[in-house]
Amino acid sequence: MAYYLFRSLALLLFWAAPAVVESTNNVKQIAVIGAGAAGSSAAYHLRRFANESNIIINVTVFEKTSRIGGRTLTVNVYDDPIEPIELGASIFVDVNYILSNATRDFKLTVVDPGAEEGGLLGIWDGESFVYTQDSNSWDWVNLVRLFWKYGTAPYYTHKLVQGTVATFLKLYKEPFFPFRSLSTRAFQLDLVKITGMTGRQFLAANNLDGPFSHDIVQASTRVNYASNLEFIHGLGAMVAMAPEGAKAIEGGNWQIFANMVKASGADVHLNSPVTGISLNADQKYTITTAQELGHGEPKEAKPYPVAFDDVIIATPFQFANISTDKNLIQHPIDVIPYATLHVTLFASPYKFSPAFFNLPPASDVPVSILTTLGADEEAQPGKSGAGKAGFYSVTLQRIVMNPRTHNPEYVYKIFSPEAVTPDFLSGLLGVEVPESFTREEDSAADDSVVNPVSWFHTTLFHPYPQKYPRVTFQDPILGDGLYYTSGIESFISTMETSALMGMNVARLIIDDYAGVTRVEDEEVASMPAMPKYVDDEQDVLAQQQQKTAEQYGRPIEDINEL
Ligand SMILES: *[C@@H]1O[C@H](CO)[C@@H](O)[C@H](O)[C@H]1NC(C)=O
Ligand SMILES: *[C@@H]1O[C@H](CO)[C@@H](O)[C@H](O)[C@H]1NC(C)=O
Ligand SMILES: *[C@@H]1O[C@H](CO)[C@@H](O)[C@H](O)[C@H]1NC(C)=O
Ligand SMILES: *[C@@H]1O[C@H](CO)[C@@H](O)[C@H](O)[C@H]1NC(C)=O
């Protein structure tokens, strides 16, 4: 009885005067808003850096959805949890050091996406296939094969990509890491020269504006960033061409971020949209958050009872609907145009119809189809950018067993600017797809009925900004103790780069607590920048011919006859 009374009293007191946790001790309170790649990485690296510097921190993560991972998410084929498939960010690569290290440190299992399926990969321009090759991996840029059609352009492009990636990787290490201004670093590393022009202009500046760029590089910018070469900056085009060592986490890449958050030891609040940030009289931040009750009804937004020393906004601000006190954000956050992408996943026993691709009946149609513009087609921005092809890509993801028919089926993914229609799928598969995509339940009960589409899932989202040329980027510091990670997305938008910005902000915060000062910007400015890309053409030709000859086991003269 006494105990009960005491508890009620305590509860009463709590509601009457919310006990705000003030860091009068030396515990630093940090709020992270958003548990996607950037927020998870920020929480994790805050913990790591604080550990190293013996700083005591307490991290609180607010996430508006019910899960960790943000745009990195899976859905389940046939709604069966044993068949998860990536909806958003499907791969990462070897040079993604943060994701690769996390994969190792959390002992996650890596798979080579698309490795087992085989079949042809083709690039379709809306009328014909401009290029096809055997595809057995996402690591599809097969230099030897490409040499046949495009000569040395693939080699030089590859070098250009490697040079650009090497420059970008300087952002991971002192003196370029950490950075208070991304614009300054982009300038110091000469990367603004690449972000300041279109992919097409950058390739042209390197004498690479021929058919290889039009067909292959553009297919990459379309599948990765829903953009033609004229409407993406040079850096975006280079990143789209850097798929070496493509990998994915078995069961879903989101697990990297879930593990990061767990290892951070943060207090995590899911279903907790942040609605406001304000500064209190002690110059600490108050976060207002509404917790959803699960019936779609948001709870009334209330101030969270912790006064925060630092706040990291780790979600695109323009979609977050967070109100802030006037003057809180000293460097206003730009609204940037995001791409609108329809992602359609579906399972079908059918391969693609030769007729749809203007091929003779019974032709071997590629199972993974990327697209480019027609030869005389003018590039358009945004939604019209898909052009005659009408979609950016249709790719075989996996072969799975249909649990009802026990027959193997293909799982495909479509990226398109408009919603996929049953008509489109009927043409693509060469079989009538019903209005509802999948058939009604009663026929589903009959095992002998073959559904052209046995399962489908469609989502509309804003996966990344439209990367138009630009030379300044939203910096990570918005005000004293207030940080923002999404500015990096118009520079490069990948899981890794968002994680890099999270790590960067974590470093800045812990440096401030620890009183660490780093190399001044003037010194950094005098460091060497971009490497020279193009070396002697004759050497390259000779090397490439040598490689080709080795691959085919015969002298180059014979090969040229093929
Ligand atoms: C931080 O230090 C604690 C205590 O030594 C340790 O258990 C934890 O794994 C460390 N966390 C990270 C992310 O390094
Ligand atoms: C850490 O933060 C949590 C949740 O935000 C809070 O409940 C707790 O009191 C804080 N702990 C310390 C030691 O400040
Ligand atoms: C990844 O791990 C390696 C080896 O432990 C380390 O040298 C490197 O700094 C790590 N990189 C990042 C970005 O964490
Ligand atoms: C944005 O927040 C305000 C106040 O919290 C709310 O009234 C409004 O409905 C929200 N808008 C959206 C689009 O969520």
Structure confidence at residue 383 (pLDDT): 85
Ligand 1: residue whose CA is nearest its atom 2: 51
Q: Is 300 exposed, middle or buried (0-12, 13-18, 19+ CB in 10 A)?
A: exposed
Pick from 384, 411, 460: nearest CA to 88 = 460
Measured in angstroms, how far is the CA atom of residue 476 from the centroid of ligand 1?
26
For the ranges 7-16, 408-417, 501-510, which has the lowest average pLDDT?
Answer: 7-16
Average pLDDT (309-334) is 92
Average pLDDT (321-337) is 89
Taking the CA of residue 503 as reference, the ligand 3 atom at the shortest distance is 13
Name every residue whose Cβ is closer than 8 Å to that of residue 39 and which is 6 or more positions away in sequence.
Answer: 32, 33, 61, 63, 70, 312, 314, 315, 485, 502
Pick from 379, 473, 537: nearest CA to 191 = 473
Encoded tokens for 261 = 């958050």
Ligand 2: residue whose CA is nearest its atom 11: 58
Ligand 3: residue whose CA is nearest its atom 6: 101
Structure confidence at residue 332 (pLDDT): 85
Structure confidence at residue 291 (pLDDT): 78
Sorted by where each begins, the domain ranges of the chain are: 114-150+340-461
For the ranges 134-138, 238-242, 339-343, 410-414, which has the lowest average pLDDT?
Answer: 134-138
Structure confidence at residue 76 (pLDDT): 93
Encoded tokens for 501 = 């910005």
| 418: pLDDT strictly greater than 50 | yes
Structure confidence at residue 303 (pLDDT): 94
Instruction: Name the packing angle between helices 97-105 and 495-514 (round to 10°).
Output: 80
- With a 6 Å cutoff on the Cβ, whether 480 touches ligand 2 is no
- With a 6 Å cutoff on the Cβ, whether 321 touches ligand 4 is yes
Structure confidence at residue 445 (pLDDT): 57
- Convert the pLDDT of each residue in 161-199 to its tens digit: 999 999 999 999 998 999 999 999 998 899 998 999 999
Structure confidence at residue 105 (pLDDT): 98
Measured in angstroms, how far is the CA atom of residue 323 from the centroid of ligand 4?
9
Name every residue whose Cβ is closer than 8 Å to that of residue 81 and which is 6 or more positions away in sequence.
Answer: none
Q: How confident is the model at residue 22 (pLDDT cuts 50, 70, 90)?
A: low
Structure confidence at residue 231 (pLDDT): 94
Structure confidence at residue 139 (pLDDT): 52
Structure confidence at residue 311 (pLDDT): 98
CB 347 within 8 A of CB 458: no
Measured in angstroms, how far is the CA atom of residue 519 from the centroid of ligand 1?
28
Structure confidence at residue 526 (pLDDT): 54
Structure confidence at residue 555 (pLDDT): 40
- Convert the pLDDT of each residue in 451-476 to its tens digit: 899 999 999 999 999 989 998 899 99
Which residues lie across from 401 on neighbouring strands? 408
Structure confidence at residue 88 (pLDDT): 81
Pick from 204, 208, 228: nearest CA to 218 = 228
Instruction: Tell me the percentage of the chain whose pLDDT exceeds 90.
Output: 64
Q: How confident is the model at residue 53 (pLDDT cuts 50, 70, 90)?
A: very high
Taking the CA of residue 290 as reference, the ligand 4 atom at the shortest distance is 5
Structure confidence at residue 10 (pLDDT): 34
Structure confidence at residue 330 (pLDDT): 85
Determine the Cα–Cα distance for residues 527 and 170; give it in Å rounded to an integer. Answer: 11
Measured in angstroms, how far is the CA atom of residue 417 from the centroid of ligand 1?
44
Could you give the strand order of the β-sheet that contains 57-62, starting from the edge strand earlier in sequence? 267-269, 57-62, 28-33, 310-313, 482-484, 477-479
Which residues lie across from 60 on neighbouring strands? 31, 267
Maximal CA-CA distance, the chain: 97
Taking the CA of residue 27 as reference, the ligand 2 atom at the shortest distance is 14
Kindly report the three-state secondary structure assignment for every residue of 35-72: CCHHHHHHHHHHHHHHHHHCCCEEEEEECCCCCCCCCC
Structure confidence at residue 205 (pLDDT): 94
| 443: pLDDT strictly greater than 70 | no
Ligand 4: residue whose CA is nearest its atom 10: 321
- Convert the pLDDT of each residue in 522-556 to its tens digit: 555 555 443 333 334 344 444 544 554 454 444 43
pTM for the whole thing? 0.88
Structure confidence at residue 448 (pLDDT): 67
Query: Where does ligand 1 bind, in terms of residues with CB under 6 Å?
Result: 47-48, 51, 263
Ligand 2: residue whose CA is nearest its atom 10: 58
Structure confidence at residue 147 (pLDDT): 78
Taking the CA of residue 101 as reference, the ligand 3 atom at the shortest distance is 1
